[in-house]
Amino acid sequence: MMTMDDTSPLHAAPQAGMTSPPTLTGEQIAARAESMGARLRAARAEIGRVILGQDRVIDLVLTTIVAGGHALLVGAPGLGKTLLVTTLGHVMGMDARRVQFTPDLMPADILGSEILDEDEAGRRSFRFVAGPVFCQLLLADEINRASPRTQSALLQAMQEREVAIAGTNHPLPRPFHVLATQNPIEQEGTYPLPEAQLDRFLMQVTLDFPTAEAERAMLLATTGTTTATASPVLTAADVIEAQALVRALPVGEQVVDAIVRLVRAARPETSDDPTIREAVAWGPGPRAAQALMLATRARALLDGRLSPTIEDVVALAQPILAHRMALSFTARAENLRLSALIDTLAGRIG
């Protein structure tokens, strides 16, 4: 049995004064998925021409965008996080901006503020000046270096795609995605993101050092007289269409059951595993299951498949659950690794 998401924009209820859009048939969805999947894979290839040795990271970030979510990139300096975001924005036709988070950064520096204007007749009025968050792809560089007050300024933007300034809601451009970075090496003077904000990120993507072959290719490609560039493949409208298509893709009941079993098994309150009950302080909430549901569909679309499989759930368990769980004090004292626990849970549903 397959399920469809009735909240998909492809099946959305019409607005007042508009005629109802036709419901897509299975054949139409399959045709659109084939066409969109080919364009997404072309975009992936273009990004890979610039970002060398990070194919897994490219796949996960693209999956996050196509699923309509935000990503937290964790890695040491110099691994190409900033270049990845700028290249992604160029290839996918999105307006990309970068904000360097620092301890003295204020919420108004990100969101914008109202300023007092005076016209030629001497009449005064307030005018809203938009901040850098009013873009389609925001790189929040070293997000944990800003104060909690500034970090929280992104919460409404990430969840509701709008910001409230002086009592007025200002919608953000569509699509809107935040790719935030964290340096796992230096933690002095940083402010760890609260659990509520971590949960807003669809994935936590860990960047590892490249292989020797990839690093050699990187040296040859980036230190010469010319450097590789990527060409635009998609537009912002294409990204929106892909996100709508993801929600229309069918999902098998076995995949839905696997997602539910995985998420519930990761919670100490509902897990049958005594190790999880003792070692995990808090587990993933329902948003983790929603993230898996969307991300598995997006991954299938990127791979040229019409619907996800349990293998997609297993492959995405680590980046989706890692930042939504925490080890207990006893587990940390015993040097247990959260990644190993997630791999064990994912292996049981595979």
pLDDT digit string (tens) for the chain, length 350 residues: 454 444 333 433 333 333 333 577 778 888 888 889 899 999 999 998 888 888 899 999 999 999 999 999 998 877 778 888 889 999 999 999 999 998 899 988 999 888 888 777 778 878 888 889 999 999 999 998 888 888 888 888 888 898 888 888 889 999 999 999 988 777 677 888 888 888 999 999 988 888 888 888 888 877 777 777 888 899 999 999 999 999 999 899 999 999 999 999 999 999 888 999 999 999 899 999 999 999 999 999 999 898 999 999 999 999 999 999 999 898 898 899 999 999 999 998 86
Residue 138's DSSP bridge partners are 97, 178
Query: Rounded to the nearest 5°, which phi and psi values hold at 25?
Result: -80, 170
How far apart, in whole angstroms, are the C-alpha atoms of residue 15 and residue 343? 45
Question: Domain 249-350 belongs to what architecture?
Answer: Orthogonal Bundle (1.10)
Instruction: Break the chain into its structural domains and give their ranges.
Output: 249-350
In the 3-class helix/strand/coil scheme, how is the chain assigned residue by residue?
CEECCCCCHHHCCCCCCCCCCCCCCHHHHHHHHHHHHHHHHHHHHHHHHHCCCCHHHHHHHHHHHHCCCCEEEECCCCCCHHHHHHHHHHHCCCCEEEEECCCCCCHHHHHEEEEEEECCCCCEEEEEEECCCCCCEEEEECHHHCCHHHHHHHHHHHHHCEEEECCEEEECCCCCEEEEEECCCCCCCCCCCCHHHHCCCCEEEECCCCCHHHHHHHHHHHCCCCCCCCCCCCCHHHHHHHHHHHHHCCEEHHHHHHHHHHHHHCCCCCCCCHHHHHHEEECCCHHHHHHHHHHHHHHHHHCCCCCCCHHHHHHHHHHHHHHHCEECHHHHHCCCCHHHHHHHHHHHHC
Query: Rounded to the nearest 5°, which phi and psi values hold at 117?
Result: -105, 155
Q: What are the Cα distances from residue 43, in Å, to 88, 238, 311?
A: 8, 11, 23
